[in-house]
Chains A and B, each alone.
Chain A
Amino acid sequence: MGIGLDVGSTTTKGVLVDLSRTILASALIPTGSSAPVAVRRVLEELSQASGKDLAGLPIVSTGYGRTSVEFTHEAVTEITCHSVGVHSLNADIRLLIDVGGQDSKVIKIGPNGRPTDFELNDKCSAGTGRFLEVMARVLEVSIDDLGPLALQSTSPCTISSTCTVFAESEVVGKIGTGVAPADIAAGAHSAMAAKVGALARRVGLTTPIGVTGGVALNSAFRHYLSKQLDSPLWIPEKPQLTGALGAAILATK
Chain B
Amino acid sequence: MLEGHAASENGRLAWITSGFPVEIPVAMGVGVNYPEQYGAVIGSQKVGPQICGFAEEMGYSQELCSYARSSIGAARYPEKSPLEGLPKPQALLACNNICGTVLRWYDAISEMTGAPVFLFDTPPTQGKQTPHHREYVRQSVMRLIDFLSTTFHTTFSEERLREVGNLSGKGIDLWTRCLKACRNRPSPLNCADRFLAMAPIVSLRGTELAVEFYQALLEEVEGRVAQGLGAIRDEKIRLLWDDIPPWFTIFRFFNGLAARGVVFPADTYTHAWSGSLSGADLVDSVVSVYSNVYLNKGLEAKVDKMCELIKEYSLDGFIMFSVRSCKRYSLGQLVSKELVMERTGVPGVVIEGDMVDSRLFNDAQIQTRIDALLEMFI
Residues of A bordering B, CB below 8 Å: 64, 75-80, 103, 114-120, 122-123, 202, 204
Contact = CB atoms under 8 A, between A and B. Distances in A.
Given A76-B375, A116-B376, 20 more contacts: A64-B364, A64-B368, A75-B371, A76-B371, A77-B368, A78-B368, A79-B368, A79-B375, A80-B372, A80-B375, A114-B375, A115-B375, A115-B376, A117-B341, A117-B347, A120-B369, A123-B352, A123-B362, A123-B365, A204-B338
B375 A202 contact: no
Interface residues of B, number: 16
B354 to A, nearest CB: 12
In the A-B complex, list the 6 residue pairs whose CB atoms are closest, starting with the nearest. Answer: A79-B372, A77-B372, A80-B375, A77-B371, A77-B368, A64-B364
A9 to B, nearest CB: 10
B334 interface: yes
A118 B352 contact: no
A80 B372 CA distance: 7
A27 to B, nearest CB: 23
A120 B375 contact: no
A114 B376 contact: yes
A122 B352 contact: yes
A246 to B, nearest CB: 11
A162 B364 CA distance: 22
B330 to A, nearest CB: 13
B35 to A, nearest CB: 28
Nearest to A75: B371
8 contacts: A76-B375, A78-B368, A114-B375, A115-B375, A116-B347, A118-B349, A122-B352, A123-B365
Nearest to B370: A77
A79 B349 CA distance: 13
A226 B333 CA distance: 28
B365 A120 contact: yes
Nearest to B334: A202
Contacts of B338: 204
A139 B48 CA distance: 41
Contacts of B341: 117
Interface string B342-377: 000001011010000000001011001101100110
Contacts of A64: 364, 368
